[in-house]
Amino acid sequence: LGGRRPHVEQGEPRKYDPTFKGPIYNRGCTDIVCCILFIICILGYVAVGILVIILAIVEVIIILLLIFLRNRILIAIALIKEASRAIGYVMSALFYPLFTFALLTIVIAYWAVTAVFLSTSNQPIYKVFNETACDHSRKICEPAVSPAFPLAHAMSPSNKTVYHKYLIGLQFYNVFLFFWCANFVTALGQMTLAGAFASYYWAFVKPDDMPAFPIFSSLGRSLRYHTGSLAFGSLILSIIQIIRVLLEYIDHKLQGTQNKCTKFLLCCLKCCFWCLEKFIKFINRNAYIMVAIYGKNFCTSAKDAFFLLMRNMIRVAVLDKVTDFLLFLGKLLIVGLVGIFAFFFFSGRVKAFENTAPNLHYYWVPILTVVVGSYLIAHGFFSVYAMCVDTLFLCFLEDLERNDGSAERPYRMSDRLLKVLNKKNKPEPAE
């Protein structure tokens, strides 16, 4: 009755191995690679799931915001449409950025020439001055003296004048005046456009009650009555900008010698003044609109505009984001179309342009130049649109607070805005 002999085809039983050290002993390379790939796939699957959950939460939040803010979004869209109609009545506003660009070019050129003269004034220039008749009078020469009178005795101990001593200060003064003039030109453009578009909004019968030339009328009022407000607002902004330049100069001078505490302090100061500059630009922009509407001084207009916007914070946020999104799409569309056309033109891909397109080895350079130029032009024209929206929005808020739709105080907004707000003007009582 001996034991059964195992079948050969079922395999031999495993023999005792005294060197066996566990389940990972003699494991093949394919097992380790497959295990790592499996773990990576599981982690990727979990990451995709987490990403989908986050996107779903964000989408739900966006949908809820659209539901709760639908009325304010409709108001923002109506104001943007109204801005398009206002620009249609004031077509000359589209060309005003060219005037601003010309003034800024003059300011930049004057600053650059002055900076170059200041930078090159360190090199001494010697001229011949002779009161008698001399062929070399007032000509540049090299200094040469006799051994009996050394050159060291002919110069001052520091070899510098008071002018050279304060050369850095003069450079900062030049930069400050550049900021002031550039901000003044920008502010003049904002107030001019605001006055033109405000005349459109407050006209009871559009366009009959509007001035014949809104842009020229607004420009004349700004230069005649509000130059002080423009200068004061641009001065505040220029002071903040020159402080930022000084902080950058100090950071550059102390580079390599400052400790971590000083670096942190300078970084905090630069961040704070950057935020302050953005805030002052926002306040100035709305203050200029209020100055153009009511003609008050800068401080009163800035205070009125700030509190008016704070009373309508949600409307401000919605209008700002909707306007920024639409203007971004407009710029992207223009730059994209111009870039595509420039690519097909300069690359010679279209047979119709083969004879007219120049032969270029690197056609990407003119394409990039055209794209950058189209963006700058689009930005200039869309800045007019953005200024129109901001002006109409402040006028809209003032209209809602000051008027009630009665015969004595009728709303000045258009019928389309009245329809969005479900409001209407009451007719005058019959006599």
Q: Is the dihedral of CA 37, 42, 48, 54 positive or negative?
A: negative
pLDDT at 73 exceeding the cut of 70: yes
- Angle at the Cα of 303 (from 298 to 304), degrees rounded to 5? 100
> Considering only CA atoms, which of 375, 410, 416 is closest in space to residue 392?
416
pLDDT digits (tens, 9 = 90+) for 310-366: 998 888 888 888 888 888 888 999 999 999 888 888 777 777 666 676 777 777 888
Distance CA 400, CA 72 (A): 14
pLDDT digits (tens, 9 = 90+) for 93-107: 989 999 999 999 999
pLDDT for 149 equals: 44
User: Which residue do the tokens 């990039």 mark?
Assistant: 368
Distance CA 103, CA 186 (A): 9
At 127 the three-state DSSP class reads: strand
pTM summary value: 0.77
pLDDT at 72 exceeding the cut of 90: no
pLDDT for 418 equals: 84
Q: 156 falls in which pLDDT band (50, 70, 90)?
A: very low
pLDDT for 408 equals: 83
pLDDT for 34 equals: 80
Q: Would you list the domain boundaries of the chain?
A: 69-125+160-418
If you ran DSSP here, which 8-state letter would residue 140 be given? E
Among 4-18, 84-98, 174-188, 222-236, the least confident range: 4-18
Q: 253 falls in which pLDDT band (50, 70, 90)?
A: confident
Between helices 227-253 and 167-201, what is the axis angle to 10°? Answer: 140
Continuous H helices in 90-133: 96-119
Average pLDDT, the chain: 83
pLDDT at 154 exceeding the cut of 60: no
pLDDT for 135 equals: 62
Average pLDDT, integer, range 6-35: 63
DSSP string over 65-98: HHHHTHHHHHHHHHHHHHHHHHHHH-GGGGGHHH
Q: Cβ distance 193 to 388 under 8 Å?
A: yes
Output the CA–CA distances (angstroms, integers) from residue 198 to 128, 151, 218, in the order listed: 63, 70, 10
Cα 153 to chain center, whole Å? 56
> Considering only CA atoms, which of 114, 107, 127 is closest in space to residue 234?
107
